Chains A and B, each alone.
Chain A
Amino acid sequence: MRKALTGAYAAAEAMRQINPDVVAAYPITPQTPIMERFAYFVNNGLVDTELIRVESEHSAMSAVVGASAAGARAMTATSSVGLALMFEVVNVASGLRLPIVMNVVNRALSAPINIHGDHSDSMACRDAGWIQIYSENPQEVYEHTLLAIKLSEDHDILLPSMIMQDGFITSHSVEPVDVLDDEVVKQFVGEFKPKHSLLFDKNPLTVGALELYDYFFETKRQQEEAMNVVKQKYYSYAEELSKLTGNKYPMVEKYFLDDAEVAIVALNSAVSTTKVVVDRLRAEGKKVGLLKIRLFRPFPYEEVQDALKNVKFVGVLDRSFSFGADAPVFAEIKNALYDLEVKPKLQSYIFGLGGRELYERDIENAFNQLLSGDVSKEKRYLNLRE
């Protein structure tokens, strides 16, 4: 069924159909409409969820960690400094191997205070042991939330997932979203079967015990292995979802890349805008292409290398800094290409911090620089006043 939904409402719609046992959340712009909408579903009896109102994001994540350890399917959502405040417990969730699924509406971190979209928040959590999936539009927010449930809850994975969408640009933009039937989603996500549970295990279970140098390292090695399993199992779940939606979910999506001489790499809503520019430049006969990163953790190095191996110049768009170092997406792309004998030349572009507009002309300028072979070791900035 086609519904007019914002990215935020698309996330809430997925949550309604998933019908989690427990949701705990604290409102923060621009995540607020997700929880506002979900609270409406709870209030009207459309879900069976225990909705816990908490006094902070730290508590929100703590509550879903407790619920998940108890054996409940638990979800939450946040944004920006809310995610930052959660950070301690974000690592607890992954360290305890709890399959929590969280929608993150990307917003800049303070200071200066800013309510608009950039990727500083989720990129700051890229090493926190969560699966990270970035969404181009409300449709993908909806579908990625369903996919994340399957990945996270696999007993060989048991890692929490974050699904990203751009603050305001995606979260507050109404678009047509094709929503599956409730019953189809119910079948797809299935009943939650925890591997271990404080409430339902036969034996007493201890969660969160102290581990020092004798076992901690082994436990962390397991988390790394679980990320490897995500890569192994990703496509079986992606294909299962594809059969229902008709859409594809490659870890990286190639757009006019096969014969491209130059390419731009992007994630979230910038992907969509870049596609428009690629279409226009292709119509002018220019061999340009786009690589979209859907799965950022675990990072699909081989897929990226394969997609970009014949491209001469690659521009990487980052909506956040890693101050004093290569920007997060750029660093990964550079890593992925290291093993190639003949490597593409790279250019790092920073854009869109604090919601700064990304115009098609900015992307076109970047493509034209790449087409003329004009790349440098220095970062370049799109739509920044010099």
Chain B
Amino acid sequence: MKKSWKEIPEGGLIVEPHTSLENKTGTWRSFRPVWDPQKCIHCMFCVFYCPDNAIPITKDDKPKRLDTNLDYCKGCGICANVCPTKAIEMVEEGDDQ
């Protein structure tokens, strides 16, 4: 439910952090990154380049990437483009998703 005019901060201010979490940009996607853990060398290129911070990683000294968070992935394909081992393939979203 969106809030009434009596409930929101004045002037369109955004007074709390993390509000971008509510904005699921995954709905924008027409191509989906499919990640192949076998080919991945965990170089972190895709993680750094992802404009939406949509690729989670483990909290280790030598972190490993995890599967893309499709709630936020807009399907821009930058990750596939920068991957040195071609471990990410952009697949067209079908009717079945």
Residue of B nearest to A208 (CB): B12
CA distance A218 to B77 in the complex (A): 37
Q: Is the CB of B15 within 8 A of A219?
A: no
When C-beta atoms are compared, the residue in chain B nearest to A93 turns out to be B11
| A1 touches B (CB below 8 Å) | no
Given contacts A221-B5, A222-B5, contact A215 B13 (CB under 8 A): no
Majority-rule SS of B interface residues: loop
Rounded to whole angstroms, the CA-CA distance of A213 and B11 in the bound complex is 15
CA–CA, A297 and B11, complex, Å: 19
From residue B53, how far is it (CB to closest CB) to chain A in Å?
A: 16
Interchain CB contact under 8 A, B15 and A203: yes
Number of A residues near B (Cβ < 8 Å) is 26
Q: Is the CB of B12 within 8 A of A96?
A: yes
**Interface assignment of A95: CB less than 8 Å from any CB of chain B:** yes
Minimal beta-carbon separation of B7 from chain A (angstroms) = 9
- Chain A contacts for B16, CB-based, 8 A: 203
**Closest CB in chain A relative to B73 CB, distance in Å:** 22
Which listed residue (A203, A204, A205, A215) contacts B8, Cβ 8 A? A215
Contact of A97 with B by CB under 8 A: yes
**A:206-262 near B, CB below 8 Å:** 206-209, 211, 214-219, 221-222, 225-226
Say if the beta carbon of B14 comes within 8 Å of chain A: yes
B9 and A211 within 8 A (CB): no
Cβ contact within 8 Å between A209 and B17: no
Partner of A218, one of B5, B15, B17: B5
B38 within 8 A of A: no
In the complex, are the beta carbons of A95 and B13 less than 8 A apart?
A: no
Extra 16 A-B pairs, beta carbons < 8 Å, given A158-B10, A205-B13: A95-B11, A95-B12, A96-B11, A96-B13, A158-B11, A201-B15, A203-B16, A204-B17, A207-B11, A217-B5, A219-B10, A222-B5, A222-B8, A222-B11, A225-B5, A226-B10
Q: Point out residues on A near B: beta carbons under 8 Å.
A: 95-98, 158, 195-196, 201, 203-209, 211, 214-219, 221-222, 225-226
